[in-house]
């Protein structure tokens, strides 16, 4: 009997967590609420249908969640892991420099000479990359001493489906593309 009470208590705790998560999700998605949409589309729905949709079905789902909580917990964890995997895959594929994007091999001194910023108003210090000099120096600190540095240029579709022109420098170590430093990223629509 004790195990049955513990089993039910765990199920009830999972149900409360699900209801809380559902409530928070609905607060975030206030622009698209199915209940409100249903009332707008079908304002004359019968009380029996509304009772079924708003009371009976959620109550039945809650009861099943309490009884079948191991399955519910398994499905929730599986869903969470799938979302994490998708997010990780999307971020990994989000920006990747390939060997086809490489333009020319340069030395650090050639890059720094090329990227000196000359501002007639003296708003930008006359250093390589101007205001981006500190990130550039930090980038150089993480490079391997025997690696190569190449300039790259590519177009990339960002997370908002807008195509950007991206240019910068990338380390190449033993034929492998390494860390990169971006000094230009502009939407192609801005460049036209």
Give Dmax (Cα) for the chain: 84
pLDDT in tens, the chain (192 residues): 788 888 888 888 877 887 777 777 766 655 445 555 555 556 666 777 777 777 787 778 777 777 887 887 788 789 888 888 887 666 555 678 889 999 999 999 999 999 988 888 877 778 898 888 899 999 999 888 888 999 999 988 766 667 888 999 999 988 889 999 998 888 887 765
Question: Is residue 127 packed enough to be buried (19+ CB in 10 Å), middle (13-18) or exposed (0-12)?
Answer: middle
Question: Side by side, which strands form the sheet with 163-173?
Answer: 102-106, 148-157, 163-173, 176-187
Report the pLDDT value the prediction gives residue 138, as an integer from 0 to 100: 93
Q: Residue 66: in which H helix or E strand, if any? A: helix 57-67
* CA distance linking residue 33 with residue 192, whole number of Å: 40
- What pLDDT does residue 43 have? 60
- pLDDT at position 153, please? 94
- Contact predicate 171/151, CB 8 Å: no
């Amino acid at each position: 009997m004790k195990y049955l009470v513990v089993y039910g208590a765990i199920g009830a705790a999972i149900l409360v967590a699900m209801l809380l998560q559902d409530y928070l999700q609905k607060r975030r998605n206030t622009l698209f609420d199915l209940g409100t949409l249903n009332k707008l589309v079908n304002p004359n729905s019968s009380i029996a249908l509304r009772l079924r949709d708003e009371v009976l079905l959620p109550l039945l789902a809650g009861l099943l969640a309490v009884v079948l909580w191991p399955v519910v917990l398994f499905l929730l964890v599986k869903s969470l892991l799938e979302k994490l995997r998708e997010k990780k895959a999307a971020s990994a594929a989000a920006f990747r420099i390939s060997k086809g994007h490489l333009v020319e091999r340069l030395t650090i001194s050639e890059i720094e000479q090329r990227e000196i910023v000359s501002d007639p108003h003296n708003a930008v210090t006359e250093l390589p990359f101007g205001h981006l000099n500190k990130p550039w120096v930090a980038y150089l600190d993480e490079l391997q001493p025997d690696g190569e540095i190449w300039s790259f240029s590519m177009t990339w579709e960002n997370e908002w489906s807008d195509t950007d022109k991206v240019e910068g420098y990338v380390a190449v170590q033993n034929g492998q593309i390494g860390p990169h430093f971006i000094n230009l990223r502009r939407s192609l629509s801005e460049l036209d």
